[in-house]
Amino acid sequence: LNSDIIASINLRKFIQYHMKRKSFATISLWPVKNVEQFGVVDLQPDGRITKFVEKPPRHEAPSNLINAGAYCLEHEVLDYIPDDTFVSMEVEVFPRIIEDGKPFYGFTFDGYWIDVGRHESYIEVTKILLRKQGLRYLVGESDIRGVLKESTVGDHSIIERGAILNSCIVYNGCHIGEDVRMERCIVADNCTVGAGAKLRNVVVGEGEKIAAHADIADEKIWTKPVPEGYPRKQVGNPLKK
Tens-digit pLDDT string for the chain (241 aa): 998 899 999 999 999 999 999 999 999 999 999 899 899 999 999 999 999 998 899 899 999 999 999 999 999 999 999 988 888 898 899 999 999 999 999 999 999 898 888 888 899 999 999 998 999 999 999 999 999 999 999 999 999 999 999 999 999 999 999 999 999 999 999 999 999 999 999 999 999 999 999 999 999 998 877 666 655 544 444 454 4
- Write the CB contacts of 228 (distance below 8 Å, at least 6 apart in sequence): none
Matching CATH number, 5-115, of 3.40.50.150, 3.90.550.10, 3.30.70.100, 3.30.420.130? 3.90.550.10
Q: How far apart are CA 130 and CA 136, in angstroms?
A: 7
- What residue ranges of the chain are covered by domains with CATH 3.90.550.10? 5-115
Question: Which of 184, 217, 222 lies closest to 198, judged by CA?
Answer: 217
Give me the helices (H) in 60-201, please: 94-99, 119-132
- What residue ranges of the chain are covered by domains with CATH 2.160.10? 119-234
pTM of the prediction?
0.72
- Asked whether the CA dihedral 60, 66, 67, 69 is positive or negative, the reply is positive
Q: Domain spanning 119-234: which CATH class is it, in words?
A: mainly beta
Q: How far apart are CA 51 and CA 43, in angstroms?
A: 8
